[in-house]
Chains A and B, each alone.
Chain A
């Protein structure tokens, strides 16, 4: 069943147009990757869906309802959560307070503090530490946990692997499997194409704000991706 659909989604920063008539769909429980070079519009796409960037009302449909004009905090209530690029934890809050803040909307569901600690056991011992004292990988776990605390139906993950060691990235991606097992759909924005394709069932490739390619992630044509990625 279709959970998220964008129709002719265009997004602007002032006079600058960052997205041009993007059509993407995400089904319930599905993991979809969004790849593309720097400045292709990946983050803009996520921010438009999350409500952080206002777009035309009818250009984003969630569960069939138009939400393009809704604010980010309203969308959290509907079940859209975002793990922002660079993690953006609240520095004056402890790990546990960051997680609790993710549950601010009090949306009902199966995720709670205990389940987040089960998913990321290392966070339990660190729960009273100020968020900035954690390592990058641990901070990323907190950021994911914070997103899950709102019990989302759609989790938007922006560059989970940014600045992390490969072994840590692998742990993070293992945890994604546990998340999608709950029927939560995940949209992954990822600069590492192989990583993105491994973790997803379909992908979209953006090029300069336009959709360049959309394919299943398995059995793809490497040359076609390269062409779409670089616009050759």
Chain B
């Protein structure tokens, strides 16, 4: 029963990792953009939510109605005005430019907000829990985060396979030059894709910041967790990304069951094992 508990807690923990990873998975899947600034964009979203909650008195989750459109617009503008210009010269230019964005965001946040650790307060839901038979108790909030991740992935699945926009995303991912010949404005489409990635990044940032303290330097570790979830699941596969997040969460919670000092390391070890056994991830979809 103790192990069932570990498994459940780990899966729920994986929900937040999956949310971290969805935006990264999207931008890589559609435009082969390896976004080094992804973790910092998660933290930036948390700071935007911090400002919104302070200015409007909204609670953090309600603040998403402002944070999500702001981050979508930010993502659209950054892709349109900057990242689009890096996509024709191979893998290196986007890496360098997003690395630069990462440094700018970290130092910008440090300048404006200082190095203090912050937290978003959501109230009683943070500590509420449900009792399951067998003495297992699960937190309402981790469950909520997991459900959000699940709904997020499902809605992306619908977007990709049931809408014209999703069809265009898949076509551009397959063959950008031919998509252009079919009347698709790739640059505009990429900007929309990055905007959508930022929607998930904003949700991830706010839900993370309710659970954990953050400061301007919290981004890179989120980036690593997101990367691991994406790679474990397989590049370009959005359900794989969810599963990658869950696997990472379960590995961490198994590690923590032995000793709390093992939690983070166990997640990284699980990632390394997947990398050795199946270098392309468990469910790879992207061909190159």
Q: Which residues of A contact B (CB under 8 A)?
A: 50, 52, 71-73, 76-77, 82, 84, 88, 90-93, 97, 100-102, 104-105, 107, 146, 150
Q: Is B168's CB within 8 Å of the partner chain A?
A: yes
Cβ-defined contact, A91 with B174, below 8 A: yes
B173 with A92: CB separation less than 8 A: yes
Chain B min CB distance to A140 (Å): 15
Query: Does B181 contact A76, Cβ atoms closer than 8 Å?
Result: yes
Contact of B183 among A52, A88, A105 (CB under 8 A): A105
CB-CB contacts below 8 Å: B170-208 with A: 170-171, 173-175, 177-186
- What would be 21 A-B contacts, judged by CB atoms less than 8 Å apart? A52-B181, A73-B180, A73-B181, A73-B183, A73-B184, A76-B182, A76-B183, A90-B170, A90-B171, A90-B179, A92-B173, A92-B285, A93-B170, A93-B174, A100-B167, A101-B171, A101-B179, A104-B164, A105-B182, A107-B183, A150-B182
In the complex, the number of residue pairs spanning A and B with C-beta atoms less than 8 Å apart equals: 63
CB pair A84 B181 closer than 8 Å: yes
Contact in complex: A77, B183 (CB < 8 Å): yes
Q: How far is the CA of A104 from the CA of B164 in the complex (A)?
A: 8
| B177 proximity list for chain A (CB < 8 A) | 52
B181 near A72 (CB under 8 angstroms)? yes
Task: Please tell me if the beta carbons of A102 and B182 are within 8 angstroms of each other in the complex.
Answer: yes
A77 CB contacts on chain B under 8 angstroms: 183
**B168 adjacent to A88 (CB under 8 Å):** no
Interface residues of B (CB under 8 A from A): 164, 167-168, 170-171, 173-175, 177-186, 285
A145 to B180, CA, bound (A): 17
Q: How far is the CA of A113 from the CA of B183 in the complex (A)?
A: 17
Q: Given that A52-B180, A146-B182 are known contacts, is A104 also in contact with B168, CB under 8 Å in the complex? A: yes
Residues on A with beta carbons closer than 8 Å to the beta carbon of B167: 93, 97, 100-101
Closest 7 CB pairs of A and B: A76-B183, A105-B183, A90-B174, A88-B178, A90-B171, A72-B180, A73-B185
Note all chain A residues with C-beta closer than 8 A to B164: 100, 104
Q: How far is the CA of A106 from the CA of B181 in the complex (A)?
A: 14
**Bound-complex Cα distance A72 to B171 (A):** 15
Q: Given that A92-B170, A100-B164 are known contacts, is A150 also in contact with B183, CB under 8 Å in the complex?
A: yes
Given the complex of chains A and B, what is the CA–CA distance between A61 and B183 in angstroms? 19
6 more CB-based (< 8 A) A-B contacts, given A76-B182, A88-B178, A93-B170 = A52-B181, A72-B183, A73-B180, A73-B184, A102-B182, A150-B183
Closest to A150 in B: B183
A18 to B221, CA, bound (A): 50
What residue in chain B is nearest A77 (Cβ atoms)? Answer: B183
Closest Cβ of chain B: how far from A156's Cβ, in Å?
9
- Determine whether the beta carbon of B180 is less than 8 Å from that of A71: yes
CA distance A105 to B186 in the complex (A): 13
| Complex: A96 Cα to B113 Cα, angstroms | 52
Residues of chain B within 8 A (CB-CB) of A52 are 177, 180-181
**Docked CA distance A82–B179 (Å):** 11
Task: Choose among A71, A91, A92, A104 the residue that contacts B182 (Cβ–Cβ < 8 A).
Answer: A104
Contact between A84 and B174, CB atoms less than 8 A apart: no
Q: CB-nearest residue of chain A relative to B170? A: A92
Q: What is the chain A residue whose CB lies nearest that of B188?
A: A73
Least distance between A93 CB and chain B CB atoms (Å): 6
The answer for the CA separation of A50 and B171 in the assembled complex, in Å, is 19
A92 touches B183 (CB 8 A): no
Report the minimal beta-carbon distance from B152 to chain A, rounded to whole angstroms: 21
In chain B, what residue has the closest Cβ to A82?
B181
Q: Which residue of A lies closest to B165 (CB)?
A: A104
Q: Which residues of B contact A82 (CB under 8 A)?
A: 181
Q: Is there an interface contact between B181 and A50, defined as CB atoms closer than 8 Å?
A: yes
Q: In the complex, which of the residues B175, B178, B181 has the most CB atoms of chain A within 10 Å of its own CB atom? A: B181
Chain B residues with CB under 8 A of A146: 182
Q: How far is the CB of A139 from chain B (nearest CB, A)?
A: 13
Min C-beta distance of A128 to chain B, whole Å: 12
Bound CA–CA A91/B178 (angstroms): 12
**Please, how many angstroms separate the alpha-carbon atoms of A24 and B237 in the complex?**
47
CA distance A146 to B285 in the complex (A): 24
**Complex-state Cα separation, A163 to B18, whole angstroms:** 45
Give, as a whole number of angstroms, the nearest-CB distance from B160 to chain A: 10
* From A71, A76, A92, contact of B174 by CB (8 A): A92
Q: How far is the CB of B189 from chain A (nearest CB, A)?
A: 10
Q: How far is the CB of A173 from chain B (nearest CB, A)?
A: 22
CA distance in complex: A107, B179 (Å)? 16
Q: Across the interface, name the chain A residue whose C-beta is closest to B174.
A: A90
With both chains docked as a complex, state the minimum distance between the C-beta of A150 and any C-beta of chain B, in angstroms: 6
| Residues in chain B near residue A101, CB distance under 8 A | 167-168, 171, 179, 182, 184
Q: Across the interface, which residues of B come within 8 angstroms of A88, CB to CB?
A: 175, 178
For the complex, what is the distance from the CA of A146 to the CA of B183, rounded to whole Å?
11
